[in-house]
Each structure stands twice: as structure tokens, then as C-alpha cells.
Chains A and B, each alone.
Chain A
Amino acid sequence: MSSLREKVENFLYKEARLMDENRYMEWFELLADPCLYWLPANEEDYDTNKHASLFYGDRNTINNHVIRLTEGKAFAQEPRSRMRRVVSNIEIEDGGEEVSVHANFIINEIRKHEQRYHTGRTHYKLAPADGSFKIKYKKSVLVSLDEMQENLTFLV
């Protein structure tokens, strides 16, 4: 029997790998139904109905997003970014039906010979499912949330 921490780490590492490798449809399979994905802009917390976010959407909106990234000619990703991210500083709160996880990330991205770093902290609410998890809620707070943003046409 693996511990809760091992299960959570395995899940986050898998998620990171799918995002790094642009495997958006497989990533989408990690989502619960319903679910919410939120990338705040400018500030860490606010009324999302009154303040615009870098991304804010339910399962349907996320689906449209990954379809565009996967199938469409999204020129901001032509050529594509090469990426690898490190997930660390994982803190877990076991709520039984729902596991609350906070984790830091550092994404190293190279596109058109320019290297960039995107760092931040993600809050997940995970639902246990088939020995692993599904993502009910994911909020990624970039350190650069109020800075000039270059293209983030991939998953954070």
C-alpha cells in the first residue's frame, strides 16, 4: 500500500509530464466532472465574476481550450514551446472525500531560442478515484501574475 503522499506525488508528477509534453487530451482525462481551472491575473484572489483572469473555466471551457491547443493552428505555439517543470514543496491535507494539495512549480520553457521561467504555487482539490485522483479544482497562482505576460498558450 502506498501512502497518501506517494499517491499524490505520483499523480502530480504524471500531470506535470502530460502538460510538459503537450498531451492535452490525456491531461483532460485527469479532470473530475464537474471541475474548475483558474489562473488568477493581477491579484491572487478576487470575485471572478467581476475581475478577469488569465484563465477561468469549467470542464466545458477547459475542453474548448485543449481542443484549440491540440487541433487548431494556434500560431503562438508555432513552433511549440519545449518545457519541463519541477513540482515541489507539496503540502497535503486529507479531507477523505477531497484531498487538498498545495505545490510549487517551476516551468522552464524555451520557444524560438528564448528561455523563460514561470513559477508559482498551485492549489488542487483532488477527488480519490480508482487508486489515484481526479482534479476537481486547480488554481495556479503565478509569481508573475501582474507582470507583462508572454504567451502562455500551454498549461500551467
Chain B
Amino acid sequence: MAQGNGRAIDYDALVKPDAVHGDCYIDPDIFAEELKKIYGRGWVFIGHQSEIPNAGDYVRKWIGLQPVIFSRDKAGKYHVLFNRCTHRGASICQHDKGNVGGFRCEYHGWFYRLDGALQAIPYQEGYGDNFDRTQYNLRRPPRLDEYRGFVFASLSPSGIPLREHISGPAQRQIDYACDLSPEGELVVQSGATKLAYNGNWKLQMENSIDGYHPNFTHQSFISTLERLTGAKVEIFSGDAKTQSRDLGMGCSNIDSRRANIEHPHAQARLKMMQGTSWGKKYYDDLVAAHGKERAEEVLIVNGTHMNVFPNLVVLAGQVRTIQPISTERTEVYLRPSLLKGVPDEVNTQRIRQYESFYTAAGGGIHDDVEMFNRVHEGLRCNQDPWLVFRRGLHREQTDNDGTIFSQGTDETAQRGMWRHWKSVMQQDAN
């Protein structure tokens, strides 16, 4: 049993192989323990490097509920700094983003460099002759690392490296998203959709890799799409070749590699893509950068649709961050990503596709949000507190790379997330 806030919580009794107890979403003690063990210890996604391209750029972020500043110094190095003056605790950064020479605490005028070093204190003689300014540098998370521009921090000085948290198969999913650029880089500078819902943060994580809901939750979007194209949307049906996949360490995805590669029109799609001068240039540049085989694989697979535990989603050309607030509230930031080094038309198309589904006035994301609110309402009924995650349990297989997969509408991805969640929550409190 793990120790909560003075109360022992039996996670074996709450997370079963095929069901999860509603308390995992609504119990404030469990939420407090998540902040300690998941957000206060393990790797947490901060932001993408390209959000702060220039010296002096910064954006505000969070690690759990703790505000941090993601900044770039004059030498081009990025930093994650706690947004708290080391003097008397005031936050030192008031804007969501900007470009500055450093951070001044406006309470008593302490001034910090972009790398967090304390540079100046007004009337420093008042601290005596032997005052060592460096002991009051801005505090920072003990560990910082990145994978392909995705920057993560950990509040624990020890633990597994980021490249174990993001397993090999999970890295290869991120690679699919990045390798759509001939330079291998995403550019996350195209604004954000910001949305909030009444409910637990894990509802958004579960939903991001849920291949079962689109035909129902998003039926208005899909029926409009079918009407426009005259073709039936088949990728979300119970016999589609998509796969629900547990990538390990709580990471998971809806894997459409096989569905896209084996699609009867896969080659025709590649041809169609080259039907314009800019499409042809994009194809040629990608082949020149990655070789024909990899370039065509990347184009046919077309990105990824994945979660990185606990708070990152990479899907459909966007970088999504999930921000827990309480058991009653979650904020979500969706940031469309562009591809570095491609014709403008390719990126414009990405923006238009993003808008069609993922904004407050768009065609899809708020139908998901509506479902999160409905689940949160339903969770108040405790006669039968279980949420059932048994779909496809009988037909799971282990792949050559060690990942577990099943049919695309199955709940293998969610089971993977919950299995990892339980193992983290069962760790010792200290």
C-alpha cells in the first residue's frame, strides 16, 4: 500500500487489469499523491525548443502545479527556471511569453539573467561583505533533457534517463512526426488552442489515444467529411487495420502504420501528393533528406497519434500539453506544429486541417470536451464506481519490439497507461 496524505491507498484494489475505480479520477488525496509521485518526480513535458527560438525568448509553463519559465539565454541554451524570486517568493515573470534581457522581481528589484543567475541586488551592501549572490540563483529542476526538440524536466535528481521513459518504440513514433520535415524538425510557433474542462487530467490522456470513440463522439465531423468526399470513413471501425498499442512506461498510441501502408490507395496517395509543383518539391526534398524508402514510409504513415506519459500528446501535426489543476479541473494546450524546410503550402495545409477540428469553433475537439464533462458528472454515481477497460483484452498480442497491440478500437493503449500509473503510484512516498 502506498501512503497518501496520511491515508493508505490500495492501488491494487483501484486499478484492475480490465477496470479502473472512479476514485482514481475524483479523490483529492489521489490527486495530491499524483502531484508528488508523477509530476513531482518523473519526467514531465515542458515545451518544444522551437517555442523559444531566439536569445531572450521565454514562455511560462508548469510542472504539476508549479509555475516555471522556459527561457533561452544569450548563448542559445534553453533553461527551465522556477518562477519564484529566491528572496521573498514573488513570481518574477508576469506575461505568458515574451523576449527580455533578464527577469526582474518587481517587489524588491532583484535581477536574474536568462539562465537564472542572480545578477544584481539593489543596495547589496545591506547583505554584508561576504554575501555570495550565487546561492540565490533561480531554482531549477534537477534534471532536464530532450528528445528531438521535446524538452522534459524531472524534479528528482535520480531516476531513469529520458530515453528509457520514452522507449525505443515510442521514440520511433515521435520520429514519424519529425521526419515529415526534410530537416527533421517541428516548429511550434503557430499559436495555441486553450481549453478547459471539469474533470481529471487523465480523461484527456485516455481520450487522445482512444480509437473507439471517433465514430460516435465525432459523428458530426465524420458525416460532414463523408458528405464532402463521397467516401465512407473506415479507419475507426471495429475491423479497421489500425492498432491500439501500449508502448511501455505509460506511453501509447493509435498506430495506423499498417492501415496506411497496406491501404489499397497508398501508392496513389503518394502520386497525388506530387500533383502540384510544391507537392513535388516537398516529395523530392524529403527523398533527398531521408532516402526514398524512408521518405515514402514517412509520407504514407503521415505522423503519429501518441501519448507520452504523463502530459504530452503528439498527434495530427500538433503538440498537446495536459495541465492538471484539480480533480475538478484540467487545462489543455493544443499547439499546431509546422514542418521546418518545406514549401509554405504544406504548412498552410497543416494549419487549415488543424483548424477544421481542434479549435473552440472547430469541428471536433469540443465534442471530446463535452464527453469529459459528462464522464465527470457520471463519476458522482458510486453504486458501481468502475470504468471498464476490457475491450480487446482477449485478443492482445506482443509485437517483435515488445510492445503490446490489439485492434484499433481496443483499449490496449489505455490499459498500458493505467498499468504504468499504478506502478508509479505504488512507489514509496519518499
Chain A residues near B (Cβ < 8 Å): 39, 41-43, 46, 48-57, 61, 64-65, 67-68, 71-76, 78, 146-153, 156
Inter-chain contact B355/A148, CB cutoff 8 Å: no
> What is the number of residues of chain B that contact chain A, defined by CB distance less than 8 Å?
39
For residue B193, which residues in chain A have a CB less than 8 angstroms away from its CB? 41, 52, 54, 149
Inter-chain contact B220/A52, CB cutoff 8 Å: no
Interface: B351 (CB within 8 A): yes
For residue B192, which residues in chain A have a CB less than 8 angstroms away from its CB? 41-42
For residue B221, which residues in chain A have a CB less than 8 angstroms away from its CB? 68, 72
CB distance from B325 to the nearest CB of A (A): 10
For residue A151, which residues in chain B have a CB less than 8 angstroms away from its CB? 360, 366, 369-370
Find B194's partner among A46, A55, A64, A147 (CB 8 Å cutoff). Answer: A147
A76 touching B359 in the complex, CB below 8 Å, given contacts A49-B351, A52-B351, A64-B228: no
A51 touching B224 in the complex, CB below 8 Å, given contacts A73-B219, A75-B217: no
CB distance from A156 to the nearest CB of B (A): 7
Interface: B238 (CB within 8 A): no
- Between B224, B228, B354, B358, the greatest number of chain A beta carbons within 10 A of the residue's beta carbon is seen for B224
Find B224's partner among A48, A52, A68, A149 (CB 8 Å cutoff). Answer: A68
Which 8 residue pairs spanning A and B have beta carbons closest together?
A72-B220, A149-B360, A76-B366, A152-B360, A49-B348, A148-B196, A42-B191, A74-B220
Within 8 A of A (CB), among B330-362: 331, 336, 338, 344, 347-348, 351-352, 354-356, 358-362
CB distance from B50 to the nearest CB of A (A): 13
Find B361's partner among A71, A75, A78, A153 (CB 8 Å cutoff). Answer: A153
The chain B residue with its CB closest to the CB of A56 is B355
Inter-chain contact A67/B224, CB cutoff 8 Å: yes
- Between A146, A150, A151, the greatest number of chain B beta carbons within 10 A of the residue's beta carbon is seen for A151
For residue A57, which residues in chain B have a CB less than 8 angstroms away from its CB? 355
Inter-chain contact A55/B224, CB cutoff 8 Å: no
Within 8 A of A (CB), among B219-275: 219-221, 223-224, 227-228
A-B contacts, 16 of them at CB < 8 A, read A43-B191, A48-B351, A54-B362, A55-B359, A65-B361, A73-B220, A76-B369, A76-B370, A148-B331, A149-B193, A149-B359, A149-B360, A150-B369, A151-B366, A151-B370, A153-B360
Inter-chain contact B371/A52, CB cutoff 8 Å: no
CB distance from B96 to the nearest CB of A (A): 8
For residue A42, which residues in chain B have a CB less than 8 angstroms away from its CB? 191-192
A72 touching B223 in the complex, CB below 8 Å, given contacts A41-B193, A41-B359, A52-B190: yes
Report whether over half of chain B's contact residues are helix, strand or loop; otherwise say mixed: helix
A54-B355, A68-B363, A152-B360 given. 5 additional CB < 8 A pairs? Answer: A39-B361, A41-B191, A74-B363, A147-B194, A152-B361
Interface: B195 (CB within 8 A): yes
Inter-chain contact A54/B367, CB cutoff 8 Å: no
The chain B residue with its CB closest to the CB of A43 is B191
For residue B347, which residues in chain A have a CB less than 8 angstroms away from its CB? 49-50
Inter-chain contact B360/A51, CB cutoff 8 Å: no
For residue B336, which residues in chain A have a CB less than 8 angstroms away from its CB? 52
Q: How far is the CA of A153 from the CA of B96 in the complex (A)?
A: 26
Inter-chain contact A72/B370, CB cutoff 8 Å: no
Q: How far is the CA of A64 from the CA of B223 in the complex (A)?
A: 11
For residue B227, which residues in chain A have a CB less than 8 angstroms away from its CB? 67
For residue A65, which residues in chain B have a CB less than 8 angstroms away from its CB? 361, 363
Q: How far is the CA of A92 from the CA of B223 in the complex (A)?
A: 40
Within 8 A of A (CB), among B131-168: none
Inter-chain contact A76/B367, CB cutoff 8 Å: yes
- Between A57, A74, A146, the greatest number of chain B beta carbons within 10 A of the residue's beta carbon is seen for A74
Q: How far is the CA of A4 from the CA of B310 in the complex (A)?
A: 58
For residue A41, which residues in chain B have a CB less than 8 angstroms away from its CB? 191-193, 359
B190-213 vs A, Cβ < 8 Å mask (1 yes, 0 no): 111111100000000000000000
The chain B residue with its CB closest to the CB of A154 is B361
For residue B369, which residues in chain A have a CB less than 8 angstroms away from its CB? 76, 150-151
Find A50's partner among B223, B228, B351, B356 (CB 8 Å cutoff). Answer: B351
CB distance from B5 to the nearest CB of A (A): 28
CB distance from A139 to the nearest CB of B (A): 13
The chain B residue with its CB closest to the CB of A155 is B361
Q: How far is the CA of A28 from the CA of B356 in the complex (A)?
A: 18
For residue B190, which residues in chain A have a CB less than 8 angstroms away from its CB? 50-52
CB distance from A42 to the nearest CB of B (A): 4
Inter-chain contact A51/B348, CB cutoff 8 Å: no
Inter-chain contact B362/A72, CB cutoff 8 Å: no
Find A51's partner among B217, B351, B356, B358 (CB 8 Å cutoff). Answer: B351
For residue A147, which residues in chain B have a CB less than 8 angstroms away from its CB? 194
The chain B residue with its CB closest to the CB of A60 is B228
CB distance from B367 to the nearest CB of A (A): 5
CB distance from A44 to the nearest CB of B (A): 12
Q: How far is the CA of A64 from the CA of B369 in the complex (A)?
A: 21
For residue A56, which residues in chain B have a CB less than 8 angstroms away from its CB? 352, 355
Inter-chain contact B359/A153, CB cutoff 8 Å: no
- Between A50, A65, A76, the greatest number of chain B beta carbons within 10 A of the residue's beta carbon is seen for A76
